[in-house]
Structure 1
Amino acid sequence: MAYTATTTNHIPFSLPLSKLSPPHNHYRHFKVSILTPTRIPTLRIQATGDRLGEFGARDPFPAEIESAFGEKVLGNGDTEHKILIPTVSALSLSQQECTPISPLQDPMSKDDAQKLLKKVLGWRILDEEVGLKLQCLWKLRDFKCGVELVNRIYKATESCGHFPNVHLEQNQVRAELWTESLGGLSMTDFIVAAKIDEIKTSDLVPRKRAWA
């Protein structure tokens, strides 16, 4: 296909303003644009199937239609969707409920306790004569803040029926957890520790100094 375009050529010339103006004729210069057609060479692109191959999607083979290939890939519109309730293992420790502890069960091993320790913040494992324990320490602004934290710990663990051993000394609170009937740690101890982790303490700890 050929295209025709126009180009602009600028030709300057002068026109006399008046033939009666003595002693010389005055001329004012003008610039006139004249459009002249110009022929642009034709560019033809020819694509052949041998060089570029076929374009577009192909039709399915009969064997693919018989095997219901499309439904396997795209899914069936009649598929039934179910909402599954998360299992206990999928829930965080703080969301789990404390279950009654049987005195016949064995205490938690140290290896298992070390794995669960990664799910609680600020706690450490103590290996004492009575067995393994969990311990956490808070440093607060003053004694009044310590009393407030003890009250918050009690409220957070009241529903579990498994209370930590809490010590209040000046501006410091120390909590220890273990299952006395087992002589060591149980899952309940870690659940209670996770619930204590969710207690707000930002208004009780010492304020950081702001240096100018």
Structure 2
Amino acid sequence: MSLADEPCEACTSDDDPLTPEEYEPYLADVRSDVWEVVDDHHLDGHYEFDDFRDALEFTYEVGELAEEEWHHPDLALSWGEVEVTMWTHKIDGLHKTDFVMAARMDRIYEGYEPED
């Protein structure tokens, strides 16, 4: 089963943020050209598009996904790109669900990738 197919399971306040050793396998399952872990605390993603319309449509689809899963990233839309910042606020750090959401965003992006 791919990471994108796994459930987005909510954490509890008793959970600890993932350590680098724990999140590395999940990071390997998302696009390395899009995602990076910053300060062992959050995921930053950068998606590129051919135009504003595709970036806007992608943002809308990610917003719908976020509402379905009740896991909301910070999104910044500009011409030809969308920046994503994500972590689990309840534990002030990374949780497996952050990587599941990143993998699902990667899947959405497959329909929008710019042509070379």
> Which bin holds the TM-score, normalised by the shorter protein?
0.7 to 0.9
User: Could you tell me how far 1:176 is from its partner in structure 2?
Assistant: 1.3
1:1-212, aligned counterparts within 5 Å? 91-121=1-31, 122-127=34-39, 132-203=41-112, 205=114, 207-208=115-116
The total of aligned residue pairs comes to: 114
User: Could you tell me how far 1:201 is from its partner in structure 2?
Assistant: 4.2
Which 5+ residue runs of structure 2 have no aligned equivalent?
none
Q: Which has the larger radius of gyration?
A: 1
Which 5+ residue runs of structure 1 have no aligned equivalent?
1-90
User: Could you tell me how far 1:125 is from its partner in structure 2?
Assistant: 0.7
- Identity rate, percent: 25
TM-score (norm 2): 0.85
Would you tell me which structure has more strand in proportion to its own residues? 1
Q: Decide whether the 8 Å contact of 1:142 with 1:170 is kept in 2.
A: yes
Would you tell me which structure has more helix in proportion to its own residues? 2
Instruction: Name the SS of the counterpart of 1:198 in structure 2.
Output: helix
Distance in 2 (CA, whole Å) between partners of 1:190 and 1:142 is: 26
Q: What value does the CA root-mean-square deviation take over the aligned residues?
A: 1.8
Paired AA for residue 42 in structure 2: K
Distance in 1 (CA, whole Å) between partners of 2:111 and 2:95 is: 29
Go from structure 1 to structure 2 and tell me whether the alpha carbon gap of 1:167 and 1:103 turns closer, same or farther (over 3 Å shift): same
User: Could you tell me how far 1:200 is from its partner in structure 2?
Assistant: 4.1
Return the structure number with greater relative CO, CA threshold 8 A, min gap 6: 2
User: Could you tell me how far 1:100 is from its partner in structure 2?
Assistant: 2.3
Q: Decide whether the 8 Å contact of 2:8 with 2:97 is kept in 1.
A: yes
